[in-house]
């Protein structure tokens, strides 16, 4: 641990840093933070445990904030100026996934938006954005909505994710609230732990059922220890988080989506509301609407190499005749799948599942096949 600590001394730490050290985590730099990449069990076992039981992830590096309209009204219409999701009809306690777009329809970041329950105030929206983009995201909001809305950063809160088929049961037991077992996917509720109010969202980034829990930073360690005291729950690092989301076909910002990719190209058109498709009104709407009507020139696809060698990010994707099609944006070994999996962009003519392609690895074209995403079926709780 001493060597790892010296490497990450200048990095920010989450409220769970002391717990990671006690648990023997290997710490690495990530998005400006010192974060656990794995624990003594290793990435493979952590991945398998999350799929079979429940894993606890420290995601406190993510950006949390309230968006509040200056005149006390609903800020949803203001936020719709910057994202393609339909937010004005969002009910209290419900959550949506969306993206900040630029004038070309490219993705500046993806985020979760929740209409808080009345206890937290209807005149605000709760946002969770990516760690590496949070300063830029909040500056973007403040600049574009200046004088009309303000961003209230929630620096005093931690964020913990509990994911897996046993996650909801573990969370319900720790909060002594069996109603949490029946809460629907993409909903938020409030519960208390040690007297402190926590915000529990039934969502996550693994393809499994589970909760993301926003809690006061000074109570995060005690809450995590209570969850880890459950036999079904183990700590999980960034390594398994990445392999889990890759099998689930979920995008990682800066890799599978960025300012050069649109929501339609990325296979995220499902997140664009019907009214927004018709009305537009968000940056890059003209491009996005055209792609929705005509289809995009390229698409994000799943790829399964034929052999055992993984195709990492940056590997060139080729047609069977050797023509360059695109490149891998995420790739690695899928423990649940039992082999290598990857994602990348190819021309729409090559995006149909079953299309044979080649992957140029160390100068050699390895055979592979386009596959439908996700590689592992989602286990979100639908009620």
Instruction: Encode the chain in three state secondary structure.
Output: CHHHHHHCCCCECCCCHHHHHHCCCEEEEECCEEEEEECCCCHHHHHHHHHHCEEEEECCCCEEEEEEECCCCCCHHHHCCCCCCCCCCCCCCEEEEEEEECCCCCEEEEEEEEECCHHHCCCEEEEEECHHHHHHHHHHHHHHCCCCEEEEECCCEEEEEEECCCHHHHHHHHHCCHHHHHCCCCEEEEEEECCEEEEEECCCCCCCCEEEEEEEHHHHHHHHHHHHCCCCEEECCHHHHHHHHHHCCCCCECCCECCCCCCCCCCCHHHCCHHHHHHCCCCCHHHHHHHHHHCCCEEEEEEEECCCCCCCCCCEEECCCCCEEEEEEEEEEECCCCEEEEEEEEEHHHCCCCCEEEEEECCEEEEEEEECCCCCCCCCCCC
pLDDT at 110 over 70: yes
Q: Who's near 97: CB < 8 A, 6+ residues apart?
A: 85, 110, 111, 112, 113, 186, 271
pLDDT digits (tens, 9 = 90+) for 266-284: 999 999 999 999 999 999 9
Q: Are 99 and 262 in contact (CB under 8 A)?
A: no
pLDDT of 2: 38
**pLDDT beyond 60 at 1:** no
Closest CA to 78 of 24, 135, 149, 140: 149
- Which residue, 60, 65, 55, is CA-closest to 31? 60
Percent of the chain with pLDDT over 70: 97
Q: How does strand 233-235 pair with strand 54-58? A: parallel
Q: Exposed, middle or buried by CB within 10 Å (0-12, 13-18, 19+), for 133?
A: buried
Mean pLDDT over 201-229 rounds to 98
* Percent of the chain with pLDDT strictly greater than 90: 93
What is the predicted pLDDT for the residue at 119? 67
pLDDT at 57 over 50: yes
pLDDT band at 361 (very low <50, low <70, confident <90, very high): confident
Domains and CATH numbers, the chain: 2-60+156-247 (3.30.1360.120), 297-371 (2.40.30.110)
Would you state the pLDDT for residue 3? 40
Query: Would you say residue 344 has pLDDT above 70?
Result: yes
Is 80 exceeded by the pLDDT of residue 7?
Answer: no
| pLDDT given at position 32 | 96
Q: What is the mean pLDDT of residues 71-87?
A: 96
pTM: 0.95
Q: How confident is the model at residue 9 (pLDDT cuts 50, 70, 90)?
A: low
pLDDT interval class at 306 (50, 70, 90): very high
Q: How confident is the model at residue 364 (pLDDT cuts 50, 70, 90)?
A: confident
Q: Rounded mean pLDDT of 105-131?
A: 91
Two tokens at 3?
A: 């060597």
Rounded Cα–Cα distance for residues 326 and 35 (Å): 31
- pLDDT band of 217, cuts 50, 70, 90: very high
Sole residue written with tokens 């915000």: 199
What integer pLDDT is reported at residue 347 of this predicted model? 98
pLDDT of residue 6: 44
Q: How confident is the model at residue 98 (pLDDT cuts 50, 70, 90)?
A: very high
Tell me what pLDDT residue 109 has.
98
Side-by-side strand order, sheet with 124-129 = 94-101, 107-115, 124-129, 63-69, 149-153
Q: Looking at the predicted structure, is the pLDDT value of residue 324 above 50?
A: yes
Non-local (6+) Cβ contacts of 109 within 8 A are: 99, 100, 129, 130, 133, 136, 137, 253
Q: Is the pLDDT of residue 318 over 70?
A: yes
The band of 155, judged by pLDDT with boundaries at 50, 70 and 90, is very high
Does residue 106 surpass a pLDDT of 80?
A: yes
Whether the per-residue pLDDT at 118 is higher than 60: the answer is yes
**Separation CA 122–CA 251 (nearest Å):** 30
Q: Where residue 121 falls among pLDDT bands split at 50, 70, 90?
A: low
Q: What is the mean pLDDT of the chain?
A: 95
Q: What band does 123 get if pLDDT is binned at 50, 70 and 90?
A: confident
Region 305-316 average pLDDT: 94
């Amino acid at each position: 641990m001493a060597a790892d600590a010296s490497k990450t001394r200048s990095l920010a730490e989450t409220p769970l840093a002391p717990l990671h050290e006690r648990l023997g985590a290997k710490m690495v730099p990530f998005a400006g933070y010192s974060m656990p990449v794995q624990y003594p069990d290793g990435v493979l076992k952590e991945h398998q445990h999350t799929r079979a039981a429940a894993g606890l992830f420290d995601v406190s590096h993510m950006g949390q904030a309230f968006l509040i309209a200056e005149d006390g009204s609903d800020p949803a219409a203001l936020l719709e100026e910057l994202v393609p999701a339909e937010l004005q009809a969002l009910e209290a306690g419900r959550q949506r996934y969306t993206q900040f777009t630029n004038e070309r329809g490219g993705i500046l970041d993806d985020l979760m938006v929740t209409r808080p329950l009345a206890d937290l105030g209807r005149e605000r929206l709760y946002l969770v954005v990516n760690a590496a983009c949070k300063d830029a995201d909040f500056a973007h909001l403040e600049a574009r909505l200046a004088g009309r809305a303000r961003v209230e950063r929630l620096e005093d809160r931690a964020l913990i994710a509990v994911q897996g088929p046993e996650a909801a049961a573990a969370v319900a037991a720790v909060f002594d609230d069996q109603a949490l077992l029946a809460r629907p996917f993409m909903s938020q509720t409030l519960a208390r732990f040690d007297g402190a109010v926590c915000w529990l969202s039934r969502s996550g980034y693994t393809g499994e059922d589970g909760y993301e829990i926003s809690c006061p930073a000074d109570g995060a360690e005690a809450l995590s220890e209570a969850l880890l005291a459950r036999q079904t729950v183990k700590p999980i690092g960034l390594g398994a988080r990445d392999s889990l989301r890759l099998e689930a076909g979920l995008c990682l910002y800066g890799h599978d989506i960025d300012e050069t990719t649109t929501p339609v190209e990325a296979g995220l058109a499902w997140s664009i509301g019907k009214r927004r498709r018709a009305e537009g009104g968000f940056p890059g709407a003209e491009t996005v609407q055209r792609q929705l009507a005509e289809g995009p020139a390229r698409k994000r696809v799943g790829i399964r190499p034929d052999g055992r060698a993984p195709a990492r990010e940056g590997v060139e994707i080729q047609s069977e005749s050797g023509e360059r099609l695109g490149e891998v944006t995420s790739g690695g070994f899928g423990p649940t799948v039992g082999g290598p999996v990857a994602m990348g962009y190819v021309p729409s003519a090559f995006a149909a599942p079953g299309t044979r392609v080649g992957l140029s690895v160390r100068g050699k074209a390895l055979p592979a096949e386009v596959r439908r995403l996700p590689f592992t079926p989602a286990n979100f709780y639908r009620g």
